[in-house]
Amino acid sequence: MPRAVYPGSFDPITYGHIDIVQRAKTIFDELIVAVVTNPSKQTLFSLEERRKLCEQALKDEQIDGIQVITWEGLVIECAKRYQAQAIIRGLRANSDFEREFQMALTNRDLNGNIESVFFMTSGEYSFLNSSIVKEIKSFRGDVSRFVPSVVEKALEQKFRKT
């Protein structure tokens, strides 16, 4: 009964991430979405805000049985702690493959028992990421095709404040 961790910044979660969650669920019995901190990147939403948006978005999309956690530390430690056999990564046409490779090989160096497993995002979301969503919304553009409505509302509030 394979269990997997799907780590990411999720700043905020998009339909691209949700697509990967659904694909990974066809293979893994248990899936843990791990919202992680990245000391070298500044995020728009706080760690807890990002976790809540993931939880709410997955609920609104009626995807059940997904645990959403936050994690401050190495992803490989998170996988170990939650006894996962795999770390899920989504590949898009514009993925930074080399960065993905670097992370996967580094994680393998750190713990050889946990596999990095890659799924391919739907063609529809192939060029979608959190940054472009934030960029469009910062200019008051429409992002309803890219993120669930709970996320769109959160983005609106964020940019209203600034």
Exactly one of 65, 142, 157, 161 binds its own copies (CB under 8 A); which one? 142
How far apart CA 77 and CA 96 sit, in angstroms, is 23
Rounded to an integer, what distance in angstroms lies between the CA atom of residue 44 and that of residue 12? 8
H/E/C letters for each residue in 27-84?
CCCEEEEEEECCCCCCCCCCHHHHHHHHHHHHHHCCCCCEEEEEECCCHHHHHHHCCC
- DSSP label at residue 122: P
83 sits near its own copies (criterion: CB under 8 A):
no
Q: 25, 51, 92, 134: which one is catalytic? A: 92
Residue 6 assigned to a binding site: no
Measure Cα distances from 11 to 53, 133, 151 in Å: 9, 10, 10
Active site residue 41: yes
- The response to whether 92 counts as a known ligand-binding position is yes
Choose which of 47, 63, 69, 136 interacts with its own copies (CB under 8 A). Answer: 136
Residue with token string 């969503």:
133
What track of x and - describes contact with its own copies for positions 109 through 128 (by CB under 8 A)?
xx----xxxxxx-xxx-xxx
Task: Give dist(CA 46, CA 67) in Å, integer.
Answer: 19
Give the nearer residue to its own copies in terms of CB position, either 56 or 132.
132
Q: Residues 98, 157, 160, 161: which binds its own copies (CB under 8 A)?
A: 98
Please identify, using beta-carbon distances, which residue of 63 and 136 lies nearer to its own copies: 136
Which residues bind to its own copies, rule: CB under 8 A?
Answer: 2, 23, 26-28, 39-40, 72-74, 76-77, 85-86, 91, 93-94, 97-99, 101-106, 108-110, 115-120, 122-124, 126-129, 131-132, 135-136, 138-142, 145
